[in-house]
Amino acid sequence: MLWVAQASVPWTRRGAFSSSSMLDGARLLRSGLVADAAPRWTSLVLVVVPALGVLVGATAGLRGRAMWTTRLTTVVAVTVAFVLFVHNVAGADLTRLGPGGWLTSAGIVSGALGLAWTRGHGDKQ
């Protein structure tokens, strides 16, 4: 649920997306009003991460190899999105991350730990 929460708070401390939420940023990017701040494709990343958070939350009670693989794919996808966003918007400067960036990274760590725990307890079968 950290990936859902990150969409409603600023993602950086200064510069692009420091005074608006990711959902606000996605709307601005799609409208073309802030084309100089970030590439247009970034709006997809801003919407995909919370959507993947909803997917993981909605399937929390489901078990099995297919669900474990889906969750692994989701954690990898969010990690890639996180790295691309930090590189393209925050200038690869982790000190620029705001609450949204830290919520996203905490969600990645929590997801990886959860996957490791369920794999160790036979949930992958």
Per residue in 12-22, pLDDT (tens digit) is: 888 766 788 88
Burial of 74 (C-beta count, 10 Å sphere; 0-12/13-18/19+)? buried
Q: How far apart are alpha carbons 124 and 65 in whole angstroms?
A: 4
What pLDDT score does 85 carry? 79
How many domains is the chain partitioned into structurally? 1
**Could you tell me if residue 68 is inside a domain?**
yes
pLDDT band at 31 (very low <50, low <70, confident <90, very high): confident
- Please write the tens of the pLDDT for every residue from 113-122: 988 888 766 6
How far apart CA 104 and CA 74 sit, in angstroms, is 13
* 125 occurs within a structural domain: no
Q: In angstroms, what CA-CA distances link 88 with 40, 52, 56?
A: 11, 21, 26
Residue-number span of the structural domain to which 77 is assigned:
2-120
Instruction: Please give the backbone phi and psi of residue 59, each rounded to the nearest 5 degrees, phi first.
Output: -105, 15
What mean pLDDT is predicted for residues 90-110?
86
